[in-house]
Amino acid sequence: MNLADKITLCEVGPRDGLQNEARLFSAEEKVELINQMMEAGFKVIEVGSFVSPKAVPQMANTDEVFRALKPPADVELRALIANARGVDRAVECGCRKVKLNVSASKAHNLANLNRTPEESVAGFKECVDKAAANGIAVSGSISMAFGSPWDREIPIQDVKDIVNAYLNVGVTEISLSDASGMAYPSQVYNMCTEMMREFPQVEWWLHFHNTRGLGVANIVAGMEAGVRNFDTSFAGVGGCPFVPGAAGNVSTEDVVHMCDEMGVKTGIDLDKAMEISRRVAELVGHPTDSYLLRAGKSKDLIRELPKGQLKNQVKAK
Amino acid sequence: MNLADKITLCEVGPRDGLQNEARLFSAEEKVELINQMMEAGFKVIEVGSFVSPKAVPQMANTDEVFRALKPPADVELRALIANARGVDRAVECGCRKVKLNVSASKAHNLANLNRTPEESVAGFKECVDKAAANGIAVSGSISMAFGSPWDREIPIQDVKDIVNAYLNVGVTEISLSDASGMAYPSQVYNMCTEMMREFPQVEWWLHFHNTRGLGVANIVAGMEAGVRNFDTSFAGVGGCPFVPGAAGNVSTEDVVHMCDEMGVKTGIDLDKAMEISRRVAELVGHPTDSYLLRAGKSKDLIRELPKGQLKNQVKAK
């Protein structure tokens, strides 16, 4: 099985996880959690988004959170933005990395925004230039890359067209995202293999939701294809915009645990990550989709042997 | 990605699922569910077990259930047994296939039963011979093959010794089972590859619990290694004997859905399987670990396009 020696996880819980929660987290709570994450070994964290506070009140305090954080040089704190105003806010609060997103659904983009996804990405040029002028790095995301509720299947050529549009505006770090929870392992493997072959200059990320229980299998498939960067969310919080009550992003601790077992390095301290996730589960106040929080680590399952046949325990050593 | 054209699923919900439930299912309820399964296309179903009704009251009516079922020739209804008395009960009620099980933990077998796993399997000879004399097929299971709470890691040589012991008593259909929920994808791939290479005469099965969220990824890893037979449980019911409140067996509908998406044939009608699982979830009376029951099929996610830019919807076609 062709796996990785080492992968990078981006903790997207503070953004994609918490934006799906009814409870609004205070800036202090977020800062405390993110500081704990940095201590647990996370090197990439999606802190929040610079979008309309009316549309996403859960992210209204993102600027405040950034101002309070003092990341070391090797930690990347990123924020999702929708337009150039997002870059302005990033500049103002000291955020050094922003992420843009476009949906891969041509039909939905045309019906909703009157432009194709490539046209939307071409329109990101202003953001990218403004970010560059301010020393802020930019990555791009393609949501619904593995299927959309409006098209069902997205032709791989459509995704390639969007990648080219990103490259045209100077974005070379690109995330393929499955916000609709429709991705499946063979598709992930094939799409990633093809994308990595055609665009070797791109730094790829994968972003899976566990909507239909395939998130972890999709990560393994992506790893087999050669991708080394994956988004996960503490305690598995998050959701699916199309399916009320669906499971959220793949749980960080479930993925770190699997990687620990497989000898794939993440640099993350699992015990500390689980502590953070336990705290998040407590704060959101409802059960979340984390297996590790329910079952604990395999390593912790060790039980005493029954005492009935003590002499045999020596024989078994 | 080296996947299968076609796999066989054994529905173990009536046995491994329901034996973990507080609610006792009546023989009528079980018969109705199993008849629906046969109609949904399941060709292998684990109906129950012939063990002590005091130890496992949920399975006390297994004989009655078998007597009421009239499976077509191409459907295999199997039961778990622990000893020769189980074969007697199988003969009496018309069960045509039994499954024996041994734990792979040498230390636990010695401490608990004063014999090694191979010695236990050698002791199955009486069952196998009695079954053969009555035209009943026998399969063997090795629980804790991927790790045990007493040993943590099980040396692969120990598992091979048990396989040889099964072969010595004439059992060539063998299931590697992860009742402790400790298996992980690279381990599954490596163990299955090695086992299939060394024992090409064996018909292999895999049995995963989703205790730590890796059940589906483990099935994909097993498929990549060449295994074609997997146990799953309706609605994901079941549990882990060592972790109260843990997730159960991998959910049948989640696996069938993934296979449908990947073009791997199971022969099972997903809509009918989901109907059965919905009924099971209703009867057990608590939420179960089924993603499909929460989110529905990807195919059913199709949404209407927004009406804002109608002319563009034509352009998008």
**Domain spans, chain A:** 8-316
Interface test with A, best of B115, B254, B298, B309 (most A CBs within 10 A): B298
Query: Mean pLDDT over all residues of chain B?
Result: 94
Looking at chain B, the whole-number percentage of residues with pLDDT higher than 90 is 86
Exactly one of A93, A95, A192, A240 is catalytic; name it.
A240
Question: In this predicted structure, what is the pLDDT of residue B317?
Answer: 45
Q: Which of B2, B19, B54, B11 is nearest to B234 (CA)?
A: B11
Residue B240 designated active-site: yes
The mean pLDDT value for B177-188 works out to 96
Exactly one of B93, B127, B240, B259 is catalytic; name it.
B240
In this predicted model, which residue has the larger pLDDT, B314 or B192?
A: B192
Does B302 contact A112 at a Cβ distance shorter than 8 Å?
A: no
Q: Which of B302, B176, B225 is nearest to A242 (CA)?
A: B302
For residue A291, CA distances in Å to A8, A155, B188, B256 come to 21, 34, 19, 21
**B176 SS3 class:** strand
Q: Which residues 6+ apart lie within 8 Å of A84 measured at CB?
A: A126, A127, A130
Q: Which residue among A182, A297, A301 places its CB closest to the CB of B242? A: A301
The residue written with tokens 């493997």 in the block is A189
Q: Is the pLDDT of residue A302 over 80?
A: no
The mean pLDDT value for B278-289 works out to 96
Nearest CA in chain A to B115: A312
Q: How confident is the model at residue B310 (pLDDT cuts 50, 70, 90)?
A: low
Nearest CA in chain B to A246: B295
Does A294 contact B247 at a Cβ distance shorter than 8 Å?
A: yes
Interface test with A, best of B291, B292, B297 (most A CBs within 10 A): B291
The mean pLDDT value for B303-317 works out to 61
Q: Is the pLDDT of residue A143 over 80?
A: yes
Query: Mean pLDDT over all residues of chain A?
Result: 94
> For residues A193 and B276, what is the distance between their CA atoms, to the nearest angstrom?
37
Q: Which positions 105-164 of B are in contact with A (Cβ < 8 Å)? A: 106-108, 110-114, 147, 149-150, 152
In this predicted model, which residue has the larger pLDDT, A113 or A104?
A: A104
Does A180 contact B312 at a Cβ distance shorter than 8 Å?
A: no
Does B111 contact A309 at a Cβ distance shorter than 8 Å?
A: yes
Residues in A touching B305 (Cβ below 8 Å) = 107-108, 111-112, 150
Does A213 contact B212 at a Cβ distance shorter than 8 Å?
A: no
Q: Is the pLDDT of residue A257 over 90?
A: yes
The mean pLDDT value for A233-259 works out to 93
Beta bridge partners of A142: A102, A176
pLDDT digits (tens, 9 = 90+) for B111-125: 888 999 999 999 999
Q: Which residues 6+ apart lie within 8 Å of A192 measured at CB?
A: A176, A204, A206, A221, A222, A225, A226, A227
Q: Which positions 278-307 of A are in contact with B (Cβ < 8 Å)? A: 291-292, 294-299, 301-303, 305-307
Q: Which positions 174-213 of A are in contact with B (Cβ < 8 Å)? A: 180-182, 184-187, 189-190, 210-213
The mean pLDDT value for B273-279 works out to 98
Nearest CA in chain B to A152: B302
Q: Is the pLDDT of residue B309 over 70?
A: no
ipTM of this complex: 0.95
Quick one: tokens of A137?
Answer: 């790095």
Residues in B touching A308 (Cβ below 8 Å) = 111-112, 114
Nearest CA in chain A to B152: A302
The mean pLDDT value for A19-42 works out to 97
Residues in A touching B213 (Cβ below 8 Å) = 216, 251, 254, 258, 291-292
pLDDT digits (tens, 9 = 90+) for A284-294: 999 999 999 99
Question: In this predicted structure, what is the pLDDT of residue B66?
Answer: 98
The residue written with tokens 């099971």 in the block is B280
Does B186 contact A152 at a Cβ distance shorter than 8 Å?
A: no
Q: Which residues 6+ apart lie within 8 Å of B54 measured at CB?
A: none
Chain A nearest CA to B160, separation (Å):
17
Q: Is the pLDDT of residue A314 over 80?
A: no
CA B225 to chain centre: 18
Q: Which positions 23-42 of B are in contact with A (Cβ < 8 Å)? A: none
> For residues B192 and B223, what is the distance between their CA atoms, to the nearest angstrom?
9
In this predicted model, which residue has the larger pLDDT, B114 or B159?
A: B159
Interface test with A, best of B112, B114, B188, B214 (most A CBs within 10 A): B214
* Architecture of the domain spanning A8-316: Alpha-Beta Barrel (3.20)
DSSP label at residue B235: G
For residue B265, CA distances in Å to A162, B3, B258 come to 33, 11, 10
How many CB pairs below 8 Å do chains A and B form together? 205
**What's this model's pTM, rounded to 2 decimal places?**
0.96
Chain A nearest CA to B211, separation (Å):
6
